[in-house]
């Protein structure tokens, strides 16, 4: 005998059931959101169902009222004839009619009206009603309500009421009770005739069933028509969407087939004309870009030889500056500085041209990012002392090796640090290195003049400056941040910026652990802790920072 498997707890079963229900709802919701055809057909069927339901209700009610009114008129006519015939039989007699006369009256009523049951109440003899139910269902007298009796006593002529009667097989049928008064010399007698209208109800059920079947068939037909029409409308839109995606992927030669003269054909022609214009403009821009890249590359290469000569000459002049007078010595120093800056600009132009030509390569190797940041800070230590800026390093993470091109990442860090020293106004600079399961990040935060949101969007543009009138104190070529962004992209990472007027700027470099990985989260928040809203502030690192500079 095998041991019985233990049942999972109720909470687990409820969670599994909830997960199954959620999955069952996900597919229809996804289909509804992604398919225009499904939404069109579903909305058409929904509105058609509401309209058919309203029409069906009105038609069914109208038919039911018509059938009932026809039967009511028939019943009233038969009851009036039966009353007149019974009145003729009992005319002139006393209220206490003999049995033979009663039987003759019953037969007369049966022949004329053929009702379901009869109820004859003798009013002149208190407490002695005469119920004529020889061929009536049991308890037929109970269907005559006191309200109908009161109406008959207080009024004149016929009175009727809708009731329900129970048959011998205990089924309930709809019926109509018609009451009238027979008058004798000695008093009056109330005559009630009950008519079973179950056949009318059956007819109405058949009509309603036919209407339902017809409406369902019509709904299916409407759904088919809506599907066909939606296909005619949606198919060109799907083709246009697919062609748009192909155009976005670079297949500029793709077009939409043009058929007819309707609005869809007009859309296709307009789309194709737009695609042709885009292709022409993109081709022209690509040609211009290639010409520009070739020009920059050629000029940069051609300038390297004369620049080398100028550099050698400037070095000779710079080394001999002690033998010059003061103005000449200063000119020698300026010449050397500008030649070095021109060399950096030329190197940046060559690097940009290689990136534009997609010729830049990345040679990844395990690198400790914290050590790389320390080296960058040490390299700019003299500049930090010159600007009297304190650089504070926070390293809550990022100590494990990351697969990157150390030369390119070091260049990014130097550019970010130099930018912070340039615009930090001598205030402290916070450098944070942190990591997560998917990424490692470096944040460089200065507390200087900051930028507006519009300026922050253009900070990575080539040769762009937020304030053209502001003189560079450190130097630079205007290509550092643009090259840094390209270097980050080559590693599959991202370089982002946050800035606010009067509160400084924060650059965050986020890199995946490996070149094949994807940086999902951001270990270092883009909005710094001291500038974010109170509820969104991340926890400030509690590690003691490394202080460099004074």
Structure tokens at 82: 């039966």
Record the tokens describing residue 337, joined without a space. Answer: 């500085």
Selected residue with higher pLDDT from 220 and 239: 220
Class at the top of the CATH hierarchy for domain 365-548? alpha beta
Domain 288-356 in this protein, CATH class: mainly alpha
Per-residue pLDDT at 542: 38
| Rounded Cα gap, residues 525 and 442, in angstroms | 10
Residue 111, C-beta contacts closer than 8 angstroms, at least 6 positions apart: 85
Q: What does the DSSP assignment read for 72-93?
A: HHHHHHHHHHHHHHHHHHHTT-
Which carries the bigger pLDDT value, residue 322 or residue 104?
A: 322
Q: What percent of the chain has pLDDT over 70?
A: 77
Say if residue 209's pLDDT is above 70.
Answer: yes
Per DSSP, what are the bridge partners of residue 391?
Answer: 429, 548
Sort 166 into a burial class: Cβ within 10 Å, 0-12 / 13-18 / 19+.
middle
Q: In terms of C-beta density within 10 A (0-12 exposed, 13-18 middle, 19 or more buried), how is residue 391 classed? A: buried
Cα(368)–Cα(362) distance, rounded to whole angstroms?
17
Residue 129, Cβ density class (10 Å: 0-12 exposed, 13-18 middle, ≥19 buried): middle
Looking at the chain, the whole-number percentage of residues with pLDDT higher than 90 is 11
**pLDDT tops 90 at residue 443:** yes
Instruction: Classify residue 528 as exposed, middle or buried by CB count within 10 Å of its CB (0-12, 13-18, 19+).
Output: buried
Report the alpha-carbon distance of residue 337 to residue 334 in Å, rounded.
5
β-pairing, 546-548 with 117-122? unpaired
| pLDDT at residue 47 tops 60 | yes
Residue 170 has pLDDT above 80, yes or no: no
Relative to beta strand 504-512, strand 439-446 is antiparallel
- Average pLDDT over every residue of 487-494: 86
pLDDT of residue 548: 42
Strand order in the sheet with 546-548: 494-500, 504-512, 439-446, 429-435, 391-394, 546-548
**Range picked from 3-17, 64-78, 107-121 for highest mean pLDDT:** 64-78
Q: What is the pLDDT of residue 217?
A: 92
pTM for this predicted structure: 0.48
| Cα(212)–Cα(223) distance, integer angstroms | 16
Q: Half-sphere exposure of 300 toward its Cβ, with a 13 Å CA cutoff?
A: 19
Rounded to whole angstroms, the Cα distance separating 243 from 251 reads: 9
Least confidently predicted of 1-10, 77-86, 226-235, 519-528: 1-10
Which CATH number, 3.40.640.10, 3.30.70.2860, 3.40.50.620, 3.30.450.20, labels domain 17-253? 3.30.450.20
Mean pLDDT of 215-239: 86
Q: Do 511 and 441 meet the contact criterion of CB atoms below 8 Å apart?
A: yes
Domain locations along the chain? 17-253, 288-356, 365-548
Residue 142 to residue 481: CA distance in whole angstroms: 99
Mean pLDDT along residues 180-191: 73
DSSP letters, 129-177, are -----TTSPTTGGGGS-HHHHHHHHHS-S-EEEEEEEE-TTS-EEEEEE
- Contacts of residue 442, Cβ cutoff 8 Å, sequence gap at least 6: 369, 373, 398, 413, 416, 431, 432, 433, 508, 509, 524
Under the banding of pLDDT at 50, 70 and 90, the label for residue 10 is low
pLDDT band at 296 (very low <50, low <70, confident <90, very high): low
Long-range contacts of 221-226 (CB under 8 A, 24+ apart): 222/44, 222/45, 222/48, 223/41, 223/44, 223/45, 226/40, 226/41, 226/44, 226/45
Q: What is the mean pLDDT of residues 177-188?
A: 75
Q: What is the pLDDT of residues 349-368, one digit of tens each?
A: 677 767 766 667 778 888 89
Q: Does this chain's domain 288-356 share its CATH topology with 365-548?
A: no
Instruction: Say whether pLDDT at 300 is over 80.
Output: no
Q: HEC profile for 525-538?
A: CCCCCCCCCHHHCC
Res. 99: pLDDT tops 60 = no
Structure tokens at 380: 């700019």
């Amino acid at each position: 005998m095998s041991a019985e498997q233990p049942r999972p707890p109720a909470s687990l079963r409820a969670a599994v059931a909830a997960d199954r229900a959620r999955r069952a709802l996900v597919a229809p919701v996804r289909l509804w959101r992604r398919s225009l055809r499904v939404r069109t057909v579903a909305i058409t069927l929904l509105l058609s169902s509401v309209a058919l339901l309203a029409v069906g209700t009105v038609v069914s009610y109208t038919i039911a009222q018509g059938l009932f009114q026809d039967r009511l008129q028939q019943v009233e006519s038969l009851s009036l004839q039966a009353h007149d015939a019974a009145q003729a039989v009992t005319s002139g007699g006393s209220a206490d009619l003999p049995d033979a006369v009663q039987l003759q009256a019953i037969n007369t009523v049966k022949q004329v009206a053929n009702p379901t049951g009869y109820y004859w109440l003798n009013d002149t003899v208190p407490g002695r009603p005469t119920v004529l139910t020889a061929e009536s269902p049991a308890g037929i007298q109970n269907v005559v309500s006191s309200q109908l009796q009161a109406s008959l006593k207080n009024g004149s002529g016929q009175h009727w009421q809708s009731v329900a009667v129970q048959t011998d097989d205990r089924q309930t049928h709809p019926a109509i009770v018609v009451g009238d008064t027979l008058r004798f010399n000695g008093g009056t007698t109330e005559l009630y005739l009950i008519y079973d209208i179950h056949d009318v109800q059956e007819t109405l059920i058949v009509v309603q069933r036919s209407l339902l079947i017809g409406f369902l068939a019509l709904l299916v037909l409407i759904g088919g028509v809506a599907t066909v029409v939606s296909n005619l409308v949606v198919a060109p839109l799907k083709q246009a969407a697919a062609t748009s995606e192909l155009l976005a992927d670079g297949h500029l030669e793709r077009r939409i087939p043009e058929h007819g003269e309707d609005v869809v054909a007009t859309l296709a022609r307009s789309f194709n004309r737009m695609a042709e214009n885009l292709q022409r403009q993109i081709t022209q821009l690509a040609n211009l870009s290639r010409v520009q890249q070739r020009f920059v590359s050629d000029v940069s290469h051609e300038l390297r030889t004369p620049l080398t000569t100028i550099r050698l000459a400037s070095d000779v002049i710079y080394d001999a500056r002690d033998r010059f007078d003061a103005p000449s010595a200063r000119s020698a120093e300026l010449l050397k500085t500008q030649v070095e800056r021109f060399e950096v600009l030329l190197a940046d132009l060559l690097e940009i041209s290689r990136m534009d030509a997609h010729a830049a390569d990345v040679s990844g190797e395990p690198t400790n990012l914290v050590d790389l940041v320390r080296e960058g800070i040490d390299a700019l230590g003299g500049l930090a002392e010159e600007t009297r800026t304190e650089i504070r390093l926070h390293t809550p993470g990022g100590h494990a090796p990351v697969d990157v091109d150390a030369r390119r990442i070091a260049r990014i860090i130097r550019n970010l640090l130099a930018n912070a020293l340039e615009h930090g106004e001598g205030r402290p600079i916070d450098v944070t290195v942190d990591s997560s399961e998917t990424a490692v990040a470096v944040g460089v935060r200065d507390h200087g003049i900051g930028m507006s949101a519009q300026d922050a969007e253009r900070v990575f543009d080539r040769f762009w400056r937020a304030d053209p009138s502001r003189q560079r104190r450190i130097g630079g070529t205007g290509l550092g941040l643009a090259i840094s962004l390209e270097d980050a992209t080559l590693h599959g990472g991202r370089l982002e910026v946050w800035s606010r007027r009067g509160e400084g700027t924060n650059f965050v470099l986020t890199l995946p652990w490996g070149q094949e990985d994807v940086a999902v989260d951001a270990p270092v928040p883009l909005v710094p802790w001291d500038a974010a809203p109170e509820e969104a502030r991340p926890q400030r690192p509690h590690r003691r920072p490394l202080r460099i500079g004074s």
